[in-house]
Amino acid sequence: MVKNYLAKSVLFSLSMLVSLASCAEQDISDTQDISDTRQDLPERGYYSDNPKDYDLGNLSRPEIHEIEKITETSALVGFSWIDIPLNYIVLIRNKEHSCAVKFTSIERGNNKKAPSSFHSGTESFKAKYDFLSLGRNKDNSFPKKSRNNILELNAAIGIGRLTIQPGQSVIYCGESKLLWQYPTAIMLFGNDFNTFFTPLFVKDLDEVNFDDSELEWYGYDANRKMIQLPFKNKSL
C-alpha cells in the first residue's frame, strides 16, 4: 500500500510539473506576441525621454526648430515656462527676490546617438547667461551681478542608481529654482506658485525696472495655453 501511495504521489507531482511548464511556455508565448505587436508611444518633445509624456497640444513646449523660429521675433510663454530671444531679458520675482536673466550664447551638440548600457545617448546643449539679483527688502537690496554663467545638459552615464547626468541646468533666484532647457527656456520646478516671470525687451541689465507698472507677470497656470509675445517697436 505504501508503494502504491508513493507511486501515486510521484505521478501527481510529475503531472503538476508538466502543467506548470506548459503554462509558463504559454505565458512566454503571449508576452512575445504582445511585444511583437506593440506600437511605440509618441514622444512629447526633445526634452522628454519618457514615452508616457503625451503631446498636450498647445500646453506642451514645441520642438527646438519651432522655438528657434518663434524667438527670432517673439517671446513664448507656456503654462510653467518662458522662452526669450537671445540677448534679451527675462525678469523673475518671488516673495524675497527679483532677478534678471539674459542669455548671451547657446550651443547645440548635434551629437545624439543610440543609447547603450552605460550612456543615454541624448544630445548635449550649452548656454551662457548674465544674471542680476536684487533682494526685495532693505536688508538685501544691493544688486548682485554676474556674467558668462554656464549652463549645460549632457547625456546621462552609469547604471541604475549610479547614473549621473553631468552639467548644471538650474538657475537660482533666492528660494526659487528654475530649470533651463535649450535654447532659452526658463521653467518652474513642479507646482511653484510663488515664482513669476515676464519678458523684457531690452538688452542692458542696467535698464531693468522691476517696478514698472506696465509689466505683465506670468506664474504657474496648468490651464494656460502658449502665448506668443511679439516685440513691439523693437528691432532684433
pLDDT digits (tens, 9 = 90+) for 106-127: 999 888 888 777 777 778 999 9
**Predicted pLDDT of residue 195:** 97
Q: Residue 32: which residues within 8 A CB-CB, separation 6 or more?
A: none
Q: For residues 208 and 123, what is the distance between their CA atoms, to the nearest angstrom? A: 34
pTM above threshold 0.75? no
Q: Which band of pLDDT confidence, cut at 50, 70 and 90, is reported for residue 183?
A: very high
Rounded to an integer, the average pLDDT of 209-234 is 88
Residue-wise pLDDT for 136-159, tens only, equals 665 556 688 999 999 998 877 777
234 or 80, which is more confident: 80
Residue 213 predicted with pLDDT over 50 = yes
The neighbouring-strand residues paired with 127 are 106, 151
**Predicted pLDDT of residue 48:** 46
